[in-house]
Amino acid sequence: MSSLLSLRPDAVSSFVAAAPRARAERVADDKAMLKAAAELTRDLNKPRPAIYWGDLVASVMVGYGALAAAMLIRPVGWALVAGMIAVLALYRAGSFIHEISHVKLAALPGFRGGWNALVGIPLMVPSFMYEGVHNLHHAKTRYGTVEDPEYLPLALMKPWTVPVFVLVAALAPIGLLIRYAVLTPVSFAVPGLRRFVVERLSALAINPQFRRRAPEGDAKAEWTRVELATSAWAITMLTAVATDTVPLRAFLIFLGVVSAVTVINQVRTLVAHLWENEGEAMSVTAQYLDSVNVPPPTLLPALWAPVGLRYHALHHLLPGLPYHNLGEAHRRISAVVDTHSPYHKASYDGLPGLLGRLVRSTLASR
C-alpha cells in the first residue's frame, strides 16, 4: 500500500534538491534473469484460497480482539501492549488490499467483499482506493514517471521531506473521517465536489500530480456500494461518540491504532524502493533494481513488510504471483541465476540500513 495523503503539487518542485539528472543510471534488461524468473515460477501462479482466508481471518480476529482489549483494559502498560498487537495484526490484515489489486477475483471467490466487510470499511480504506491505481505503478512505461501514482524521487528530495512524509501519514484517520463522513455524502449532491473527491481523494497514492479517473459500468456500481457503506460507518462512529454511546477514550484509541498502522505502512513505503529515478521510463531490470527485497534470515520484515511485501523487488518482476509463493520463487531464482546476476543486487538486510541509505541520499542532494 501507499499513503492516502500526498504532498501538494505546487510544493513538489521546491522539495526536489538540485541533483544531477542522471542520478539513476540507465540499465538494460537482463534477459537471463527475466527468463529464469518466468520459467522457474510457472507452477506458482495459482493462489490458494485456504491460505488467503485463513491468514485474513486470523489477522482480523487477533487485531480486533487486541483493539477491544486496548479499549477496555485500564492499566496503561497492558493497554499499550494490546494496542501494539492490534496495530501489527490489523496492518497485516490491511496489507491484503495489495493482493486484491493483483489477484484474479475468480480465483478467490468472495475475498474482495469479505476483505471490505472485515477491514476496508471498518478502517475506512475500501479496496477501490487501490484497485485501478496500483496496477498503473506496475505499467512498464509508467513506473517512476510522473504518470506513476506511487512514485516520487524521494532520494533526491530535501532531507526534511522524509519526516514530513511520515508525519503526514499520522493524520490519515482524520482525513479519512472527513472524506467519508462529510465529503462523500455532500459530493453526491454537488457535482463539482464529486469530481474533486473522485480525482483527488479516492486513491492510495503519493504522487500529487495523479488524478483518478471516474469508474464506469460494474466498477462504478461496486465503488458506489462500498463507498456508501464506508460513509455510513464513518457517520455512525461519529454519531456514537457524539451521543456518548461510544466513549471518547475508546474512539481515540481506535484512531490511534489506525494512525499507527498508516505510519508503519508509510515507513515501509519509504524503503520499498530506492526512489532514485527522476521521471524517465525505465527497463524492467532497472525497475527491479530500484525496488527492494528483504529476504530471510532477517525476521523483522515479517512484521513491517507482511503478506509478501518483503519481496517487493521480486513482486515487480512477477506481479501476478500470490504472496504465499514469493518465498519459494525467491529461493528457486536465487539458486539458479549467476552470482553476478542483478537479481542478487536487490536484496538488503533490513529497515535501518535502508532508511539510513535514503536519509544519506537526501543529505547528499542538498
- pLDDT digits 0-9 by tens, 202-259: 999 999 999 999 999 999 999 999 999 999 999 999 999 999 999 999 999 999 999 9
**Phi first, then psi: what are they for 273, rounded to 5°?**
-135, 170
Q: What residues contact 65, with CB distance under 8 A and at least 6 apart?
A: none
- Report the distance separating Cα 327 and Cα 330, nearest Å: 5
pLDDT in tens, 59-105: 999 999 999 999 999 999 999 999 999 999 999 999 999 999 999 98
154-173 average pLDDT score: 94
Average pLDDT for residues 144-173, to the nearest whole number?
A: 94
Cell readout for 97 is 488490499
Mean pLDDT of the chain: 93
Question: Which pLDDT band holds residue 328 (cuts at 50, 70, 90)?
Answer: very high
What pLDDT score was predicted for residue 4?
A: 52
Largest CA distance in the chain: 65
pLDDT tens track for 12-55: 444 344 333 334 457 899 999 999 999 999 999 999 999 999 99
Give whole-number Cα distances, 339 to 161, 287, 333, 354, in Å.
37, 20, 11, 22
For 335, residues 6+ apart whose C-beta sits below 8 A from its C-beta are: none
Under 8 Å between Cβ of 353 and 270: no
Number of neighbours of residue 89 by Cβ within 10 angstroms = 23
Separation between Cα atoms, residue 325 and residue 332, nearest integer Å: 11
